């Protein structure tokens, strides 16, 4: 059940009024829930809602309070919410019926982040928000952590870092915009560039024909000086949503074929799709390249090798 951003009641914990929460208390909630989970609390958690309340300036009276909540109350509420998240993940639940276990933000271990990775997070989250990430954001926490171990490295790919920053930015931003709030037909050149940049970053390759970014570019070409009147964070969120949809569709296409003997036609189709998406031929070791190899072998000896047997399904 979704939690109210203003007042949250958790089993075994007293209700927390997030509307008037102070910045200090929001940081305490994030710290306690992070410790309880063992990773950064995901979107929808109590900690992330408290952070969003601060970022959206819902707590306009927060500066009048040195401590608005009892520390034990904060700890109990954070523990209860952490337990709720663990149970949801154990049951395969989450936002929209899916788990957040695979979110990029949860892959960022702040205990292992170094200066270079922190700079990358700060840069990408700043771009997504259109302003410097506030205290409690992933980028701000990464910078604070990296100051303790500047030469460390979590070994996280830049694409994952970029997606983590984008996920965090879209949760912090007012309104948490989505593609349903974006009229692509009215976007101008500047908004189309923003969508293309963010979706490219989230996918790790140029958004293909049919993507939100590609549609926005086509529309903007007709009226480059137009504007849909949408803030940058909403554009970033819309780009992330569309990128996730495209990635899921590609994964589904491969999964559907995973138990079928690989033929030349299947391999050719996968190579073509990857070529269009990446702008170059698939690299050695990629699923399309593996499909080509399996198809050649099947044709040579009449075998029925599958992508699933080769461990190449998503």
Helix/strand/coil percentages in the chain, nearest 5: 55, 5, 40
d(CA 187, CA 222): 10
Indicate whether 201 pLDDT > 60.
yes
Kindly report the average pLDDT of the chain as a whole number.
75
- pLDDT-derived band at 98 (thresholds 50, 70, 90) equals very low
* Residue bearing the bigger pLDDT, 198 or 104: 198
Greatest C-alpha distance within the chain: 78
d(CA 267, CA 276): 14
* Residue bearing the bigger pLDDT, 39 or 189: 189
d(CA 276, CA 176): 31
- pLDDT-derived band at 173 (thresholds 50, 70, 90) equals low
Indicate whether 229 pLDDT > 90.
no
d(CA 204, CA 279): 12
What percent of the chain shows pLDDT beyond 90?
6
* Residue bearing the bigger pLDDT, 92 or 121: 121
* Residue bearing the bigger pLDDT, 64 or 228: 228
* Residue bearing the bigger pLDDT, 4 or 42: 42
Indicate whether 225 pLDDT > 80.
yes
Q: What's the pLDDT at 255?
A: 60
* Residue bearing the bigger pLDDT, 285 or 256: 285
Contact 56, 109 (CB under 8 A): no
Q: What's the pLDDT at 55?
A: 64
Whole-model pTM: value is: 0.41
Tens of pLDDT, residues 247-274: 777 766 666 666 778 888 888 888 887 7
Indicate whether 178 pLDDT > 80.
no
């Amino acid at each position: 059940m979704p939690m109210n951003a203003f007042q949250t009641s958790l089993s075994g914990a007293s209700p927390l009024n997030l509307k008037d929460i102070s910045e200090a208390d929001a940081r305490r909630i994030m710290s306690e829930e992070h410790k309880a989970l063992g990773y950064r609390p995901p979107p929808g958690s109590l900690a992330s809602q408290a952070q969003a309340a601060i970022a959206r300036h819902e707590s306009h009276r927060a500066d009048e309070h040195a401590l608005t909540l009892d520390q034990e109350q904060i700890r109990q509420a954070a523990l209860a919410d952490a337990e709720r998240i663990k149970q949801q993940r154990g049951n395969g639940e989450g936002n929209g019926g899916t788990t957040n276990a695979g979110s990029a933000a949860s892959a960022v271990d702040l205990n292992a982040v170094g200066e270079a990775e922190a700079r990358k997070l700060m840069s990408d989250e700043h771009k997504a928000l259109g302003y410097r990430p506030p205290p409690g954001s992933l980028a701000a926490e990464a910078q604070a952590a990296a100051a303790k171990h500047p030469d460390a490295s979590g070994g996280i790919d830049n694409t994952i870092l970029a997606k983590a920053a984008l996920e965090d930015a879209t949760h912090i931003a007012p309104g948490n915009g989505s593609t349903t709030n974006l009229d692509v037909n009215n976007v101008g050149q500047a908004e189309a560039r923003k969508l293309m940049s963010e979706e490219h970053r989230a996918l790790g390759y140029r958004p293909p024909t049919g993507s939100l970014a590609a549609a926005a570019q086509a529309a903007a070409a007709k009226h480059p000086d137009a504007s849909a009147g949408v803030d940058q964070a909403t554009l970033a969120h819309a780009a992330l949503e569309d990128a996730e949809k495209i990635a899921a569709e590609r994964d589904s296409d491969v999964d559907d074929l995973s138990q079928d003997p690989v033929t030349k036609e299947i391999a050719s189709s996968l190579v073509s799709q990857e070529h269009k998406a990446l702008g170059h031929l698939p690299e050695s070791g990629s699923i399309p390249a593996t499909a080509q190899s399996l198809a050649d072998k099947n044709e040579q000896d009449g075998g029925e090798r599958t992508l699933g047997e080769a461990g190449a399904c998503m």
